[in-house]
Structure 1
Amino acid sequence: MQYFTADTHFFHKQLLGQNDFAPRPFESVAAMNRAIITAWNERVLPHDVVYHLGDIAMCPGNYPSQAEILGVLSQLNGHLVFIKGNHDSRALFKYLAKHDPLAGKQHPKFQFHDVGALIKMNHFQFFMTHYPLLLGITSQTMNLHGHIHHSSVPIAENINVGIDAPERELLAHKLPFGTPLAEAELFEIYHKKQALLAKK
């Protein structure tokens, strides 16, 4: 299976509680990290692939260390494909590649893309980026992205897959905080967004 997420912001203390950017109802980063890890692992199996579209962790003042970020990521099930976000660094990517727990195996734990990646599913192509793209008039093409947290691009083909994205509220079922989105959920969001925008 393939799953999609963004903006985990592990260790980002400034997001805790109520705020206008990306409120997270946790008393500590340890509790937030634990909730994301638990929700992730309840859905993702070890052989699954998760596309993480940027902003793995936020480390004001160089906290946490790269080793601490690796410690959290090593607890997550699946093979992780990272698209670089504005809070990610090439230095972190290099560190993760060097300390990949599955290094030397047929499928490494971590893969990396600086700008974006393209995959095809169910006769659609998905451009995966951290920042939302304006694709113009498209057919069977979507842009999966993160970055804008609690905001939504008013275009059906742009789907914010961040863990605190408003698109998640369109799903018929409520997902635990931090759960990566499945392929079927992307299409559910897409069709519901299309219907809502058509009414405007």
Structure 2
Amino acid sequence: MQYFTSDTHFFHKDLLGNNDFAPRPFPSVEVMNQTIIDHWNARVAPTDTVYHLGDIALYFTHPAVKSDQAVADVLSQLNGHLELIKGNHDSRALFKYLAAHNPIDHGQPKYAFHDVGVLIKYDHRQYYMTHYPMMLGIVKQIINLHGHIHHYAVPVKENINVGVDTPEQRYLTQPVPFGTPFSTAEIEQMVTGKAAEFKTKQ
């Protein structure tokens, strides 16, 4: 199975509480981190693939390698093979650390790394996955899955925010718990729901 998520922001204490940008109503980053881990693993099996579209964590320590170790420890607790697309808060140092500490999990490396984006096919559609929303212009059967903008949505029907804070969960018949990666079926619900909403506005 394939799943999609973005903007987990592990360890990012400045996001805690209720706010308009990225509401995280948790008492501590430890509780937030564990909530995401638990909800992730309740859905994702060890042999599944999760596309993480950037901003894995935001954590600074001295020396910096301590934060890389802490983030790697959290990621090691997540089920699945992780396809990591670099976000604006993902440092080269973190990716280098993960590449150097990349365990073999169910016959393949735990992590794969992408600087810009990934294109995959699903049914008769293509998902172009990036951290930042992309303005693709007039396209057929191409959907830009993205993160970065947290509790906001791009007013374009071909752009779907898959971040943990996305407001586009409203298109789902059954919203998922915070931090749960979205399935392809849920992505398609978002695509269909957003397209239908835009059609009513024309």
The letter for the 1-side match of 2:135 is L
Given the alignment of the two structures, is residue 154 of structure 1 paired with residue 146 of structure 2, yes or no? no
| Matched residue, 1:189 | 190
In the alignment, what sits opposite 2:39?
A: 39
Q: Which amino acid aligns with 1:133?
A: M
Deviation digits for residues 109-160 of structure 1, max 9, x if unmatched? 0000001111111111111000000111111110000000001011121000
Amino acid at match of 1:145: H
Q: Which residue of 2 aligns with 1:91?
A: 93
Corresponding residue for 1:164?
A: 165
Output the CA distance in 1 between the equivalents of 2:130 and 2:154: 14
User: Counterpart amino acid of 2:102?
Assistant: D
Query: What residue number does 2:175 align with?
Result: 174
Please give the alpha-carbon distance, in whole angstroms, between the structure 2 residues aligned to 1:173 and 1:148. 22
Corresponding residue for 1:82? 84
Letter in 1 for 2:171: L
Equivalenced residues, count: 199
| Residue aligned with 2:39, SS | helix
Q: Which residue of 1 aligns with 2:139?
A: 138
The equivalent residue for 1:70 is 72
After TM superposition, the score normalised by the length of structure 2 is: 0.95
In structure 1, list runs of 5 or more residues that go unmatched.
none
Counterpart of 2:54? Answer: 54
Tell me the distance in 2 between the aligned counterparts of 1:146 and 1:37.
19
The two structures, once aligned, show a CA RMSD in angstroms of 1.4
Identity of aligned residues (%): 61
Larger mean CA deviation between 94-103 and 16-25 belongs to 94-103
Do 2:60 and 2:67's aligned partners in 1 also have CA atoms closer than 8 Å?
no
The offset of 1:91, in angstroms, is 1.2
Q: Classify the secondary structure of the residue corresponding to 2:160.
A: strand
- Secondary structure (helix, strand or coil) at the match of 2:34 reads helix
The structural deviation recorded for 1:101 is: 2.1
List runs of 5+ in structure 2 lacking aligned partners.
none
2:3 aligned with 1:3: yes
